[in-house]
Amino acid sequence: MSPALPHRVIFDTDPGVDDAMALYFALAHPDIQVLGITTTFGNVTVQQGAANALYLCALAGRQIPVTQGVARPWVKPGEAPPAYIHGADGLGNLPERMAVKEQLDPRSSAQFIVDMARANPGQITLVAVGPLGNLSLALRLEPELPRLLKQVILMGGTVLEPGNVSPVAEANIWNDPHAADQVFTAGWPLTMVGLDVTHRLVLPVTLFERIAQHHRHRATDTLHHAVAFYANFYGSRFEHVAAVHGCFGHDVLAFIYLVAPHLFQTKSGQIRVATDGVAQGQTILKRQAGIEYPQAGWEAALPSSTACMGVDAEACSALFESTMMRPWLSA
Ligand code: RIB
Ligand code: CA
């Protein structure tokens, strides 16, 4: 059943191939209205990420404000982006790009989030699928932000599934663990869509080929190209993904949770992030309710979050395909 009003969303992203998938799913879905795109470093530099967001919108014929955000982690040193996963340009090394006339919104990503939240109190969902520095900075600019946003849904972290950048850490959280810990303890309705569920959603390249053939449009051709590159990385790491020549659909699951939360099993509890040492970037969910631990950092007053622990991957895949096949692109 569709909501009476569309979900009004700010999309915080480091585009990135699966970020591009997520953006196009959001643009194609009738119940999602993307009010703005805020960008961060991660899969690419923040400059490249902002350029990619503008480019993806231009390809799709959509005019959406895009801002450039934080360029590095809060505390630890930044690192070179993983060109071997997303390509040096973040979109699978596109052979060419059309010229884009749209310009960035001059505000920082954090300022944009704060301005939009103040202007639309309680109405905006923040869907964050990259390192969390923009949200962390926005919290410093506006400490009331947790009450001004409707909810935060983030792709990042893991509870039981092994990490993807260390045995325990997922990339978005590991890229800025201090910002992530601040976001998990800020006190807003927050749902973590982590590797526990994103490693269940394997999308074959043939699906993107079908989507591209259906639309015959430069936006879906570009997505198909990018996914084919990205699938080579995942195929080199996971046998079952190589077997279908596919990739994980990480970021798109944050939007699927927004529109179809019934497809997920969740667990509530306090979540903290290890900021240093060998466990850096680990997201730790307090799984036993009603226990008081003697260690600092787990006080009862600490806000609770929701972690996605299971998913109907087949239904998500079907929803992704049917949404992407809708007539969402202009000629
Ligand atoms: O670990 C997966 C996440 O890291 C996704 O958001 C992907 O885009 C990368 O940023
Ligand atoms: Ca991402």
Q: Which atom of ligand 1 is nearest to the CA of 171?
A: 1
Residues 230 and 87: their CA atoms lie apart, in Å, by 8
- 76, part of any domain: yes
In sequence order, what DSSP letters do the residues of 115-137 get, joined into one string? HHHHHSTTTEEEEE-S-SHHHHH
The phi and psi torsions of 153 (rounded to 5 degrees) equal: -120, 120
Pairing of strands 149-155, 305-311: unpaired
Asked whether the beta carbons of 150 and 124 are under 8 A apart, the reply is: yes
Q: Report the pLDDT averaged over residues 281-308.
A: 94
Kindly report the CATH number assigned to the domain that includes residue 299: 3.90.245.10
Would you please indicate which residues are annotated as catalytic (active-site) residues?
A: 250
Joined tokens for residue 50: 């902002």
Residue entry with tokens 């505390």:
75
pLDDT exceeds cutoff 60 at 270: yes
Q: Report the pLDDT averaged over residues 298-313.
A: 96
Beta pairing partners, 108 = 68
Q: What is the pLDDT of residues 94-121, one digit of tens each?
A: 999 999 999 999 999 999 999 999 999 9
Residues 230 and 237: their CA atoms lie apart, in Å, by 12
Confidence of residue 2 (pLDDT cuts 50, 70, 90): low
What range defines the domain where residue 314 resides?
Answer: 7-324
Residues 183 and 191: their CA atoms lie apart, in Å, by 11
Peptide bond into 16 cis (omega under 30): yes
Global pTM exceeds 0.95: yes
- Write down the pLDDT at residue 274: 98
How many domains does one find in the chain? 1
- 331, part of any domain: no
Residue entry with tokens 């959280």:
173
Which of 44, 155, 233, 256 for a ligand 1 pocket mutation test, highest count of atoms within 8 Å of Cβ? 155
Which of 251, 257, 282, 283 for a ligand 1 pocket mutation test, highest count of atoms within 8 Å of Cβ? 251
Q: Which one, of 68, 64, 69, 70, lies nearest residue 8 by Cα?
A: 64
Residue 256 CB–ligand 1 contact under 6 Å: no
Task: Return mean pLDDT, the chain.
Answer: 96
Beta pairing partners, 285 = 271
CB-based burial label for 165 (10 Å; 0-12, 13-18, 19+)? middle
Residue 181 CB–ligand 1 contact under 6 Å: no
Confidence of residue 124 (pLDDT cuts 50, 70, 90): very high
Separation of 111 CA from ligand 1 center, angstroms?
23
Q: What is the pLDDT of residues 34-92, one digit of tens each?
A: 999 999 999 999 999 999 999 999 999 999 999 999 999 999 999 999 999 999 999 99
Separation of 94 CA from ligand 2 center, angstroms?
18
Residues 35 and 29: their CA atoms lie apart, in Å, by 14
Residue 254 CB–ligand 1 contact under 6 Å: no
Joined tokens for residue 189: 């309705």
pLDDT exceeds cutoff 90 at 330: no
Residues 173 and 150: their CA atoms lie apart, in Å, by 22
CB-based burial label for 237 (10 Å; 0-12, 13-18, 19+)? exposed
Confidence of residue 1 (pLDDT cuts 50, 70, 90): low
Separation of 26 CA from ligand 2 center, angstroms?
14
- 28, part of any domain: yes
- 329, part of any domain: no
CB-based burial label for 98 (10 Å; 0-12, 13-18, 19+)? exposed
- 143, part of any domain: yes
Asked whether the beta carbons of 158 and 170 are under 8 A apart, the reply is: yes
- 330, part of any domain: no
- 2, part of any domain: no
- Write down the pLDDT at residue 3: 64
Asked whether the beta carbons of 190 and 151 are under 8 A apart, the reply is: yes
Joined tokens for residue 284: 């730790």
Q: What is the pLDDT of residues 194-245, one digit of tens each?
A: 999 999 999 999 999 999 999 999 999 999 999 999 999 998 999 999 999 9
